[in-house]
Amino acid sequence: MIITKDYLLAALAGFLSGICLIPTLLNIGYSNQTILYVLPFLMAVAWAVGLWIGQELTAKIPIMLQLAKFAEIGVLNTAINFGVLNLASLMTGVTAGLLVGGYNVPGTLVAATNSYFWNKLWVFKKIDNKGLFNDVPKFALVTIVGMVVNSLVIIVFTSYLKPMFGLAGGQWLNIGKVLATLLGVLIDFLGYKFIVFRTKENSVGLSR
């Protein structure tokens, strides 16, 4: 069941996602200032509406509210990851190679820290008497595996596949990042749901 706090948290996640997407949009050549200014507010509204839709669908598919939360936090984590990578790329002008893989690590770490608290406290709601940080070791293991795979995909993609279809280096970098992120999302979801934040309720896929 959704309460007012859930809508506020969803709106906050959407707003932060919009902020973090701005460096990515700039790095791929998007320069419409009006859209850049209003994007965080549009995403805040969209996230609140998305949560409401998830609640409405829960009557037929119980897992939908949890999936809606996971998807919204997943986008926020992805926006943070992309944002840090593209901010570093914008500041240095580097768009390919081993150095880009290094730039990918800080964004992944920041996104992972953000992911831990949002998923533990809001998405999966694994609240117990073991403490806030008791799941950190398992979370770190799953995250490190995802980070290594994510960075390797970016390095291989940008080093061995040259930009095609007339795309600039920054645009090609982000295509590689999308592919890496898709694989990373799969690893994270399975790891978080069945290893890190495993509970009886989460293991059978029911929303809280």
Per-residue model confidence as pLDDT tens digits over 33-79: 899 999 999 999 999 999 999 999 988 887 788 888 988 998 999 89
Residue identified by tokens 């979801």 is 189
Provide mean pLDDT across the span 24-29. Answer: 90
Asked if residue 205 lies in contact with residue 63, where contact means CB atoms within 8 angstroms, the answer is yes
Query: Which amino acid is present at 131?
Result: G
Q: How far apart are CA 49 and CA 43, in angstroms?
A: 10
pLDDT one-digit tens code per residue, 106-122: 888 898 889 889 998 89
SS3 177: helix
Indicate the pTM of the whole model: 0.74
For 134-170, what is each residue's pLDDT tens digit? 888 998 898 888 888 888 888 888 888 888 888 888 8
Determine the Cα–Cα distance for residues 172 and 174; give it in Å rounded to an integer: 5
Asked if pLDDT for residue 25 goes beyond 90, the answer is yes
**Would the pLDDT of 200 be above 70?**
no
* Angle at CA of residue 106, ends 170 and 44, nearest 5°: 75
Would you kindly state where each structural domain of the chain is located, as residue ranges?
Answer: 4-200
